[in-house]
Amino acid sequence: MKFFVDTADVKDIRELNDMGLIDGVTTNPSLILKAGRDIKEVTKEICDIVSGPVSAEVTAVDYAEIMREAAVLAKIADNICIKLPLTLDGLKACKALTSDGHKTNVTLCFSATQALLAAKAGATFISPFIGRLDDMGFDGMELIAEIRTIYDNYDFDTEILAASIRTVDHVKRAALIGADVATVPPATLKALVKHPLTDKGLEQFLADWAKTGQKIG
């Protein structure tokens, strides 16, 4: 499973990239707002740090305007992945951009049939939002499972990018189902390493080691 980090915070991206933990980055208008930076400037900086795909989202809703914004975003760097809304205009843009050799990420997916359309439009990634479905009382993970089955039934190449991930358990369940990628907020990504028995075991080893009076090297 590939990990993308879901943020536009350059400091967090640099730290996680230096740890070798991330294969790409996803951003969206809300994350750009949170970062408080100019979209083109911060996206360029992110693309210089991470070699994998960096999703940058269009904010237009009609086809012509989406294509105009996509051309601007695509010029930022070679590893830009154009993020598009799951609408008819977004899907039409997805088809055109993919045919033109661009990577695409179709976002705001909340149903398996939407994911089917995105695959038919040639999306590189489909982003089903797990946490936001959970918030509404549904099981977001069921959507990931349905999309996995449909994509496997028809050998679609579109990668399932599990998004709106809020917990360590979301990451585990998405991996068990076979999502290709999880885009995870920095804090949740770091929380994956945590286990109380690891902390307890390390504490014990260090205490026993101190009693030996030895030093390595």
Q: If DSSP codes are grouped into helix, strand and coil, which group holds residue 146?
A: helix
Cα–Cα distance for residue pair 116/4, rounded to 1 Å: 22
Is 131 or 178 the residue whose CB approaches ligand G3P more closely?
A: 131
Q: Which is nearer to ligand G3P, 94 or 163 (CB)?
A: 163
Q: Least CB distance from residue 49 to ligand G3P, whole Å?
A: 18
Is residue 131 at the binding interface for ligand G3P, with CB under 6 A as the rule? yes
Per-position x/- string for 167-186, each x denoting binding to ligand G3P as judged by CB under 6 A, each - no binding = ----------------x---
Interacting positions 21-60 with ligand G3P (CB under 6 A): 26, 28
83 a catalytic residue: yes
Please report where in the chains the tokens 């390390």 appear, as a residue: 202
Catalytic residue (choose from 2, 40, 44, 83): 83
7 near ligand G3P (CB under 6 A): no
Rounded-to-integer distance, Cα 142 and Cα 150, Å: 12
d(CA 139, CA 7): 24
Give the closest residue to 159 by CA, choosing from 13, 51, 1, 29.
Answer: 1
CB of 131 to ligand G3P, least distance (A): 5
In the complex with ligand G3P, which residue's Cβ is closer, 6 or 69?
Answer: 6
Residues that bind ligand G3P (CB under 6 A): 6, 26, 28, 129, 131-132, 163-164, 183
